[in-house]
Structure 1
Amino acid sequence: MSDSPAIRKSRLGPTVLRSWQNWRAWPREVARVWRRSLQFRTIVITVALSAIAVVATGTYMSISIGNDLFQSRLNQVLVESKNAATAAQTIFDSSDASGEASTISLLSSAKSAIIASSSSRLIALYATPGETTNSTTVLSFASPELADGVISDQLQADVADDPDDVQQYWQSVPLVNEAGGTDPGIIVGSPLTIPGAGNFELYIGYNLAEAEQTLVFVQQTLWLGGLALVILIGLVAWLIVRIVVQPIRMAAETSEKLAAGHLEVRIPERGEDVISTLARSFNGMADSMQSQITQLAELSQVQQRFVSDVSHELRTPLTTIRLAGDVLYDQRESFPPATGRTAELLHTQTERFEVLLSDLLEISRFDAGSAHLDTEPTNLVRLAEDAIDQMESLAEKAGSQLRLVAPGGYFEAEVDGRRIRRIVRNLLGNAIEHGDGKPIVVSVDSDEHAVALSVRDYGSGMSEADAERVFDRFWRADPSRKRTIGGTGLGLAISLEDATLHGGVLEVWSRPGAGSCFRLTLPRVQSRPAGESPLPLEPHDAYGEAPAVAELRPPTPPASPTSPTPPAPPSDDRVQTGADHA
């Protein structure tokens, strides 16, 4: 039983049907296939160039054959016309007819001789202009096909004058056929002299319909043969390109599988040609890559295991040292000053060592691929407020003031609150460390696809080369600079890993003397892309001070009567603090 239209439609698939029905999309689909298919491009270029060559060759051959046919027929016509005119003139010259009746009988004999010599019944005889004998009108006649102005005045003038004694003149004209249409033709004119009647002009018409049919047949044969040749060239090109491109396509697919991590795939090796040599070289390269990647993976696992084991093993003695150090630190007031200072240093460095171990363990989890997310709907403004509260005391010690700017929006997103809070603390710590005691602005904004948080400081900033390495592990822009908050050098590296784990992006903008801006962009839903960030990476105050920062400045002392009043900083009604928004 045949399928119903609905069943056939479902089998074809809606995508294919839409593609064929939406004809406006065809150029775009052809362009896409052109970009992606080497085989399609090669065949199209080959067929196009072959078609151009065939059209040029066919056009040249058609024109050449048409000219040759016409010239051959013209030469034949001129010879026949000359023979016919000579035969008619001979009849006229050999006759002694003196009366009109005898002259007409003589003309009939000459007409029969013309038809016999020229194989054409298209004959016209006109008296030469200026002849005034009584016989001129009686002897003049013309076949119906040559009447009604078919013979041009120029041809008649040339035949009548004949200054160079050429005896023959011809002209290409359209001749009416039996069906009422027109055929190409040639009219040949020659002067005649009829004794007793005067000078006349003989015109003989020749129909070239047969020559035209021959030319049309030859042209059709050429074009059909050219079309068949182009199709044949296209098929041959398709076959050859398929033979050549198939191994290349297989090599491309194999390389994609290798890039995806399937290191065991190889290209089949057949024969001893260039393609086989390419396959052997590619497989040798794949073997070498597999060996090196396997070796590096094993070394990486050993290194990760070593870091993890060392970190775990160091926790026990570190805990003991921490307990002993806490005891000494609590009793430092009873020690001599030097010993008390040593207890403080021991306590501080032990805390820093403990943080370093935690960071190393976290880095080892990222390297081993064992880090995972524990997501829940989180309000990023609340999270930023908590991080600011935790870092407020450090900022005050450094002389920096913190400000949260939340212009309004969605803010909630599916994130791991612990990891995002760690990112914000690391960014704030970095801003306090390098902010030179200037204000620090934390901005939060979001849209329906993404949520973003930026930390802007107005410190010394970094060069482009330093900004490219700011997320490297243990890297410092200024190694001689003293750490004021006890960082381990892994904070930004861990923050970058946390952002990547969320499917987000952590970026930095910095200019020497203009400060830095770190921007974190996260998708609102983990299974969806974030898209464009709601916050700009280059801040609006990149080359000037924002209103939010101006509000953090200490008030300007009253101006003296002689000094001008300083202008008030610009205001922005869209700027809100996180507390105000929440």
Structure 2
Amino acid sequence: MRYVDWRAWAARLATLWRSSLQVRTVAITVVLSAIAVFIIGGYMSVSVGTNLFDARRAELEATSANATLTGQRFFDESVEQLGTDDLDVLIYDAARDIAAAASTPTGTQYAILRTPGQPGSPTPQDIASRGLDAGTTLISPELRAAVQDESEPRTHSQSVALPVDGGVHPGLVVGTQLDIRGAQYELYLVYDIVDASDTLGFVQQTLVVGGLALIVLIGAVTFTVVRLVVGPVQLAAETSERLAAGDLEVRIPEKGEDVIATLARSFNGMADSLQSQITRLADLSQVQQRFVSDVSHELRTPLTTIRLAGDVLYDQRDTFPPATARTAELLHTQVERFELLLADLLEMSRYDAGAVDMETEPTNLVRLAEEAIESVSALAEQKGSDLRIVAPGGYFEADVDARRIRRILGNLLGNAIDHGEGKPIVLWVDSDREAVAIAVRDYGVGMTPAAVDRVFDRFWRADPSRQRTTGGTGLGLAISLEDAALHGGWLEVWSSPGEGSCFRLTLPRRRGAVLTGSPLELPPDDAPALEVSRDED
């Protein structure tokens, strides 16, 4: 469950990132500022720490040098007056003076060690302050070797970790040489430099707090500036979306004289112009729709009268001379075509006016396809086209308006017969759980890509010189496209010159569902194989 929540959060953040210019700008600015502050803060921290340690080491080395001079002077002045037995007492006194001279607020420890490898009695013995073992590991062999090197009689130092009260403090060991009655000794002073570490920690904490405050301040400033700039742009985007959705009265508030105000005035001027043109076009469209509808209705009355008179003449054509009989037949045919044209014009006017409704019910599309084939079988036989239906099986029932689907199939089959060149015509029906598809495939003349782009235009014909067997009005495919869209479906076409055409109707099985795909290919993959088998028959 947590995994799903994390994915949902990630999806929401990704959507917010893609959709909000303000979020992207502020986020990028804050991230780049944080990187810059981190780099600068890290450099300052390292630089301050290095300088602080170097200064502290130089100070302690100078203190150690003064303490060494103090101890050496004490030995030089007192050793001539004392015997060997009193030398141990003298070195302890000198060690106290040295410790006092090298004393620091954080404490100082010392050790005086005889340089090994010298002739004579090892007197006095090695000594060290309380808490510091004379053989302590704080004094490394490398440091002792550097101090013992007579070619470099200077102060040497080394950083160490001092165990203090169960913890560890940073420390510094400084080593120098002492000469006691001709014998070489090594003086080591151990300093606790936790005060320098505390100072560095305070500086680093200040840098961190200051850096975070700076990042927050930069983010706030960026947010304010971006809001001032992006806010009007977002308002313009929202206004344009409302304008595109049909709210022609919406406008952008005009404030000031800057570039944003100029953009608002220009946008509002464009919106005024669009509103005026759209209103004018809408009024013109309504006038045209009303004109078509009124003319179609007004023509029905005289057309009915003409139809009755034409039917009387057509029924008595056998008693007329041949020329008059032919005239009666032509009159009957053209009156029927005129009636179809008026019906199609009225249907298109309803679509244009948005006054179309559906009466859906569960319908078996295979049976509907069989009925459509039966209705055009006589025309197909006259043209020599073999009609075949292929239905491999599936969920064939769908909530559709059977009258409109029957009209679509009639138009598609009529066009296939007209342009099929007497070759076979295959009607495919297939489905899945979400959609039902019907494809009408012919193997006739086909169409060019330019013709395919215009095939659903009103009153357009691919080849006006071709004689139509079905006597269509030129509105069949346009009405079929509207019928398919009314169902929430697709009416698509594939065609190639010399290879025929294929129209595919895809409908959702449930009213209101959204299509995501079609159960049939366009054209179906095995249509050529069916064509070959029929040719062989």
Q: TM-score, normalised by structure 1?
A: 0.86
Equivalence for 2:102: 118
How does 1:204-353 map onto structure 2 within 5 Å? 204-353=189-338
CA contact (8 A) 1:459 1:514 kept: yes
CA contact (8 A) 1:97 1:103 kept: no
Q: How far 1:272 sits from its partner (Å)?
A: 2.7
| Cα deviation digits, residues 171-230 of structure 1 (max 9, x gap) | 1111222x122211111111221115x111111122110000010111111111211222
Letter in 1 for 2:283: E
| Cα deviation digits, residues 430-454 of structure 1 (max 9, x gap) | 1111111111111222333222211
Q: How far 1:321 sits from its partner (Å)?
A: 3.5
Q: 1:225 to 1:381 in 2, by over 3 A?
A: same
Greater CA drift, 141-150 or 39-48: 141-150
Question: SS at 1:293's partner residue?
Answer: helix
1:545 aligns with 2:529: yes
Q: How far 1:311 sits from its partner (Å)?
A: 2.2
| Cα deviation digits, residues 14-49 of structure 1 (max 9, x gap) | xxxx99993453222222222222232222222212
Letter in 2 for 1:122: Q
Greater CA drift, 165-174 or 268-277: 268-277
CA distance in 2, matches of 1:348, 1:148: 124
- Tell me how large the CA RMSD over aligned residues is: 2.3
Equivalence for 1:519: 504
CA distance in 1, matches of 2:283, 2:150: 107
CA distance in 2, matches of 1:37, 1:521: 37
CA distance in 2, matches of 1:441, 1:460: 15
Residue of structure 1 aligned with 2:178, choices 192, 200, 222:
192
CA distance in 2, matches of 1:299, 1:27: 50
Q: How far 1:67 sits from its partner (Å)?
A: 0.9
CA contact (8 A) 1:104 1:139 kept: no
Letter in 2 for 1:190: T
Equivalence for 2:141: 153
How does 1:452-491 map onto structure 2 within 5 Å? 452-491=437-476
Equivalence for 1:138: 125
CA distance in 2, matches of 1:479, 1:133: 131
CA contact (8 A) 1:122 1:205 kept: yes
CA distance in 2, matches of 1:492, 1:498: 10
CA contact (8 A) 2:115 2:184 kept: yes
Equivalence for 2:37: 54
CA distance in 2, matches of 1:403, 1:205: 106
Q: How far 1:143 sits from its partner (Å)?
A: 5.3
Greater CA drift, 479-488 or 370-379: 479-488
1:417 aligns with 2:405: no
Residue of structure 2 aligned with 1:379, choices 361, 364, 368:
364
Letter in 1 for 2:179: T
Q: 1:436 to 1:53 in 2, by over 3 A?
A: same
How does 1:41-190 map onto structure 2 within 5 Å? 41-95=24-78, 96-119=80-103, 121-136=108-123, 138-141=125-128, 144-145=131-132, 147-163=135-151, 165-177=152-164, 179-190=165-176
Q: 1:288 to 1:152 in 2, by over 3 A?
A: same
Equivalence for 1:427: 412
Letter in 1 for 2:86: S
CA contact (8 A) 1:524 1:530 kept: no
Q: How far 1:335 sits from its partner (Å)?
A: 4.4
CA contact (8 A) 2:379 2:469 kept: no
Equivalence for 1:400: 385
Q: How far 1:59 sits from its partner (Å)?
A: 0.9
Question: SS at 2:186's partner residue?
Answer: strand
Equivalence for 1:566: none
Question: SS at 1:257's partner residue?
Answer: helix
Equivalence for 1:564: none
How does 1:6-21 map onto structure 2 within 5 Å? none
CA contact (8 A) 2:488 2:514 kept: yes
Letter in 2 for 1:192: L
Equivalence for 2:344: 359
CA contact (8 A) 1:129 1:160 kept: no
CA distance in 2, matches of 1:244, 1:264: 25
CA contact (8 A) 1:304 1:364 kept: yes
Letter in 2 for 1:64: S
Question: Structure 1: where are the runs of 5+ without partners?
Answer: 1-17, 556-582
CA distance in 1, matches of 2:402, 2:93: 122
CA distance in 2, matches of 1:265, 1:528: 33
CA distance in 2, matches of 1:497, 1:400: 28
CA distance in 2, matches of 1:281, 1:136: 102
CA distance in 1, matches of 2:383, 2:150: 118
Q: 1:24 to 1:529 in 2, by over 3 A?
A: closer
Q: How far 1:336 sits from its partner (Å)?
A: 4.5
Question: SS at 1:371's partner residue?
Answer: coil
CA distance in 1, matches of 2:132, 2:408: 102
CA distance in 1, matches of 2:382, 2:251: 62
CA contact (8 A) 2:87 2:124 kept: no
Q: 1:74 to 1:474 in 2, by over 3 A?
A: same
Question: SS at 1:472's partner residue?
Answer: coil
| Cα deviation digits, residues 32-85 of structure 1 (max 9, x gap) | 222222232222222212211221121111111101110110110111111111
Question: SS at 1:522's partner residue?
Answer: strand
Equivalence for 1:3: none
| Cα deviation digits, residues 388-447 of structure 1 (max 9, x gap) | 111001111111111122222232222211111100000001111111111111122233
CA contact (8 A) 1:43 1:238 kept: yes
| Cα deviation digits, residues 119-149 of structure 1 (max 9, x gap) | 2531111111211322445254465346422
Q: How far 1:112 sits from its partner (Å)?
A: 2.9
Letter in 2 for 1:187: V
Q: How far 1:551 sits from its partner (Å)?
A: 5.4
Question: SS at 1:34's partner residue?
Answer: helix
Letter in 2 for 1:161: D
CA contact (8 A) 1:155 1:170 kept: yes
Q: How far 1:513 sits from its partner (Å)?
A: 2.9
CA contact (8 A) 2:360 2:402 kept: yes
CA distance in 2, matches of 1:168, 1:530: 88
CA distance in 2, matches of 1:302, 1:22: 55
Greater CA drift, 439-448 or 241-250: 241-250
Question: SS at 1:138's partner residue?
Answer: coil
Question: Structure 2: where are the runs of 5+ without partners?
Answer: none
Q: How far 1:495 sits from its partner (Å)?
A: 0.2
CA distance in 2, matches of 1:396, 1:292: 52
Q: 1:78 to 1:515 in 2, by over 3 A?
A: same
Q: How far 1:276 sits from its partner (Å)?
A: 2.4
Question: SS at 2:290's partner residue?
Answer: helix
